[in-house]
Amino acid sequence: MYVPCAFLYSILLQHPLKDKAKPQINPALTTRLQRSRKMGKKEEQLAELLGTLGDFTSKENWDKFFTIRGTDDAFEWYAEWSELRNPLLSHLPPQPQILVPGCGSSRLSEHLYDAGFNSITNIDFSKVAISDCLRRNVRHRPDMRWRVMDMTAMQFEDEAFDVVVDKGGLDALMEPELGPKLGTQYLSEVRRVLKSGGKFICLTLAESHVLALIFSKFRFGWKMGIHAIPQKPSSKPSLQAFMVVAEKQVSSVLQEITSSFNDSSLALKGSQACGLLEAVEKENQIRRDYSTGSDVLYSLEELQLGARGDLTKLCPGHRFQLTLGGDSRFSYRAVVLDAQESSGPFAYHCGVFIVPKTRAHEWLFSSEEGQWMVVESSKAARLVMVLLDASHVSCSMDDIQKDLSPLVKQLAPGKDDSGAQIPFMMASDGIKQRNIVHQVTSTITGPVIVEDVIYENVDGDISRILPSRDLTFRRLVFQRSEGLVQSEALLSEEGSNNKVGETERKKTNSSSKSKRRGIQRRSGETSHQLKVYHGYLASSYHTGILSGLMLISSYLESMASTQKSVKAVVIGLGAGLLPMFLHRCMPFMHTEVVELDPVVLKLAKEYFSFVEDDHLQVHIADGIQFVRNVANSAAADEISAVQEKEGAHCYTEPTSSNRSCLESHVEGKVPSKVDIVIIDVDSADSSSGMTCPAADFVQETFLQTVKDALSGKGLFIINLVSRSQAIKDTVISRMKVVFSHLFCLQLEEDVNEVIFGLCSASCIKEDSFPEAALQLEKLLKLEHPEISQSIINTTKKLRQLK
């Protein structure tokens, strides 16, 4: 087989290269030579000779070198027998069957034989090396066996040996230029040919990439220790050799790696010692995580070794994650779930459910609770859920299915004697056509995409209103939040006929540059010159927010009938669809929108037909600070009224920093008390457990500030998105402390939950909901009664939180 680096040096010492041959020198092995000993002229010639090997996996090359070398004595690269004898012999059982792969012409087997271990089999893929060793030992060591064999494909029965002794063979296979493939094949063979209780003894320089492979392949069902080989005292720097001992266990219980050294006891300091200690600690941490039940990714190989029990048997309620692939064309992240018995009867013993990248972040597929719901509907006793990522975007489903088929068959429980096929199911992303209109990266929001999509199926109400074969929707996507679709608008020819659209056209006509850009954009959007239609809310949670206005519909009606303005503050602009809808269908409402990112405002104007006027204004500011200033301003107004003295103030004027938070491209006075506060912002911090809003917006101090900013009949609305019920409960408990009455709306197909807080001590009764809903319907000025009815229908889902 491939001759270990230990033997490479023995070749080089005996046969320096003649001056006329100047080959390319392998840099990795030359570095070892330089680090192993101070290079003189002879060593330089040896390094040049090593370079002539070229391909270290070529049997012909090694045959040539062994022919040149003849039967001269070998030089032991890693350690002399005097250094190696005691630590090696201490790990050998009595009368073992020993295999020495990649033996070359090393004396290691001869020393073992002379120490009383006569049942030794040596293999190497070089016929020349094996012939030389056989001639050298046939008389003096007649029981020693020699075979020409590839150590990555051994021709032995399973569990044929008690011990496998490797001196540098794995290191030679694991040259970085070659990658781990040959090393992986070799270690698989080692595991196969070892008996239960057998030992793999690997003499190595313990480089990080070598250790990483050994640790992963001998993780489950193996007890492992690492020992430093003693070195002769020397003033010359040299690499320390180590002995890794992996013992095959009956149990698959994970055990941490033990070592007979520490940082201070290692003879060698520097990168080799640090790298070894770091690798051992990293692997032990992985093993601790596995042992404590952490939700980690297993490999298929680890599972087959018993990492999660017997893979061939169904274990109801069992769930684990793994990576599939490696030798296949692609790599995949998957979740295996064994259905509860109560979910039966089952149509399939095993099924595969593929989730496309665009939907992998959804609660249904990314949360454990959602995944069990998929299992129940799949009617499979074992479901393998495969979550695709960016690496699979350019692949066809046929290619992915062909690649996955042999992998998932290894995960199927038991033996399917009926010959039934494993069905492949898929969660469609629901999109028939996608066109990216614009991409930009903001320093605040990160990557943002504006895209036009055509869905396979759309809401029945809008399809009746606009009977088109393919309705087009425009989406604003914040990529920082796992592809969060922040806003979604309907595009229609009807959108180009509204007054808002006309206002925007007048504004773009004032700038030739803007006009040209607008023409380019519209021509790239659709072939029918479609525009955003602001008379329809495509997002169900926006409809939910509107339906909650029913809770104060009496107050809204009284304000509208007396021609007074209802003051609303919306934190979070997005594409501006909710403020534009309010502006269009409730003309008596004066809306202040607070947006932190000017890039988002620019996108809303250029791609979603957002327009400001006297009743709709945007402030580029911090939302929390804006609400705080509203509350402070309202408190100051109340104090002034009590003092009944114009110009008398008993409060501190806002600082310049506070005032700067209110500055906007549109000059506008900060309102005093407001009637409605809507929080509709996403969170940039996924560690909070909430996609919406940011954690600061649900702190009790901010909630109290909101209440202080609201009028006596005021309504607080917050869009809450979290997959954790515990987090939702925490937010609700905080809101209960501040607000007199709470209501919630759980949307059936979304993880969005809209929470409503009332300031008033008196509260609308549930039996008054139908009447309040009718009041709200009369207030909504909409062209299509079907859209109004959709909002009213949603009010029926509102429930009070006790």
Rounded to an integer, the average pLDDT of 661-683 is 68
Beta strands in 304-462 (DSSP E): 319-324, 332-338, 351-355, 382-387, 424-426, 431-442, 446-455
Q: How large is the greatest C-alpha to C-alpha distance in the chain, in angstroms? A: 120
Paired with 204 in beta bridges are 242
pLDDT at 58 over 90: no
Q: What is the pLDDT of residues 392-436, one digit of tens each?
A: 877 888 889 999 999 999 999 986 545 668 999 988 767 888 899
According to DSSP, the β-strands at 674-679 and 710-722 are parallel
Q: How far is CA 387 from CA 39, 334, 429, 478, 549, in A?
A: 53, 6, 13, 21, 39
d(CA 247, CA 582): 71
d(CA 130, CA 1): 10
Query: Tell me, what's the pLDDT at 578?
Result: 96
Q: Where are the alpha helices (DSSP H) in 379-428?
A: 397-409
Cis peptide bond N-terminal to 693, omega within 30: yes
- Positive or negative: CA dihedral 346, 349, 335, 283: positive
Query: Tell me, what's the pLDDT at 460?
Result: 62
Q: What is the pLDDT of residues 350-366, one digit of tens each?
A: 999 999 887 887 778 88
Instruction: Please report which confidence band the pLDDT of residue 504 belongs to, taking 50, 70 and 90 as the band edges.
Output: very low
User: CB atoms < 10 A from the CB of 152, how many?
Assistant: 21
Query: Tell me, what's the pLDDT at 293?
Result: 64
Q: What is the pLDDT of residues 738-788, one digit of tens each?
A: 998 999 998 755 568 999 999 988 888 888 999 999 999 999 988 887 788
Q: Where are the alpha helices (DSSP H) in 235-312?
A: 271-291, 300-304
Instruction: Provide CB contacts within 8 A for 113, sequence distance 6+.
Output: 120, 137, 141, 143, 144
Query: Tell me, what's the pLDDT at 486?
Result: 87
Mean pLDDT of the chain: 80
Query: Tell me, what's the pLDDT at 75?
Result: 52
pLDDT at 652 over 60: no
Flag whether the pTM goes above 0.75.
Answer: no
Residue holding tokens 């949670």?
541
| Selected residue with higher pLDDT from 226 and 751 | 226
d(CA 347, CA 374): 14
Instruction: Provide CB contacts within 8 A for 402, sequence distance 6+.
Output: none
Query: Tell me, what's the pLDDT at 236?
Result: 57
From the list 525, 76, 38, the residue with the least C-alpha distance to 236 is: 38
Rounding to the nearest 10 degrees, give the CA dihedral for residues 701, 705, 711, 714: -50
d(CA 790, CA 461): 8
Buried b / exposed e across 235-245, counting CB within 10 Å, b at 16+? eeeebbbbbbb
Most confident of 82-96, 235-249, 739-753: 82-96
Query: What number of CA atoms fall less than 13 Å from residue 541's CA on the CB side?
Result: 24
Question: What strand order describes the sheet that includes 297-299?
Answer: 297-299, 319-324, 332-338, 382-387, 351-355, 424-426
d(CA 120, CA 106): 14
Are 595 and 573 a contacting pair, CB within 8 Å?
A: yes
Which range, of 7-11, 140-144, 653-657, averages the lowest pLDDT? 7-11
Query: Tell me, what's the pLDDT at 644?
Result: 57
With H, G, I as helix, E, B as strand and everything else as coil, classify residue 62: helix
pLDDT at 86 over 80: yes
Are 790 and 539 a contacting pair, CB within 8 Å?
A: no
Are 569 and 630 a contacting pair, CB within 8 Å?
A: yes
pLDDT at 91 over 60: yes
pLDDT at 723 over 90: no
Instruction: Please report which confidence band the pLDDT of residue 552 belongs to, taking 50, 70 and 90 as the band edges.
Output: very high
Paired with 431 in beta bridges are 455
